Amino acid sequence: MSYPAIQPYETGMLKVSDLHTLYWEVSGKEDGKPVVFLHGGPGGGTGEKDRQYFDPKAYKIVLFDQRGAGKSTPSASLEENTTRDLVSDIEKLREHLKIDKWVVFGGSWGSALSLAYAQTYPERVKALILRGIFTLRKSELKFLTQDGTSHIFPEAWDEYLKQIPEEDHGDLMAAYHKRLTSKDNQIRTETAKAWSKWVMATSKIRVDSKDIARAAQDDWALALARISFHYFVNGGFMREGQLLEKQRIDTIRHIPTVIIQGRYDVVCPARSAYDFKKVFPEAELTIVPDAGHSPWEIPTSKLLTEVRRLRHCAVFVV
């Protein structure tokens, strides 16, 4: 379930530091309601399908690739790449495009970045549409990288483990990060593909061979894996549980917020969305009973494209 494929009517490269330049694009209705799409990963980048969540007759759709991801340069760079940097980049892009306020749409890592941005610039956020809540708490990271998802996808887990010597199995997050920052290009590439394959294999209730094939794309896999573990080992460059702290939630409590969460999401388990809802009861949480992590599983995709029909519908429709 999605809107028809469209092409951007404007694209550009925005220099945000001496090192980093971001790719951005705008599609949809030129004078429509502005919405910015924050991709997952970290390091995942945007794709053509990401435009299709939004009604092109109603929305001015802004997509961009975060530092080191997608078409942004330099690719897979870890330098000057923190959550604070990315939040600042979003604001620079808003100013560059001369947008006053926008709806912020983010899933997985994009949900964490959406919250970090909204908590920093609440006056610039019209509404939040979040999918697959991720807050980079230690328990979430351990579930995906060490002990949790491994019990549900054991065959894929064996492939994930092959990259790491047995003596390093006690801390796989650190071991992966070490290999992804190795000076040996072959080690970096092989490790990146293994991580990307693991994520692709676990993102849907039914494993999609097309997703697995994407993990073999060197540049995409390297950016996704290197930047992901850069953020993982640093806890997202935030305090443990920072995004759920009361004083942080209080800054966005007035912002209409919708959360779509797959019940069987084993990349960003439903516990995080549930915990978020408890500290932010004003948000509208919908747990999709027959979906995993991917936004493109039909039940989740349907809800994301029809979010205007939910309780806060007036906020999301021009």
Instruction: Pick left, alpha or beta for residue 235 (phi over 0 → left; psi -120 to 50 → alpha; otherwise beta).
Output: left
Angstrom distance (rounded) from CA 151 to CA 142: 13
228 assigned to active site: no
265 assigned to active site: yes
| Set 27, 72, 77, 108: catalytic member | 108
| Set 272, 293, 294, 312: catalytic member | 293
Q: Give the torsion sign (CA, 253, 258, 263, 266).
A: negative
Side chain identity at residue 222, one-letter code: L
Angstrom distance (rounded) from CA 259 to CA 140: 18
211 assigned to active site: no
| Set 265, 294, 301, 312: catalytic member | 265
Catalytic residues: 108, 265, 293
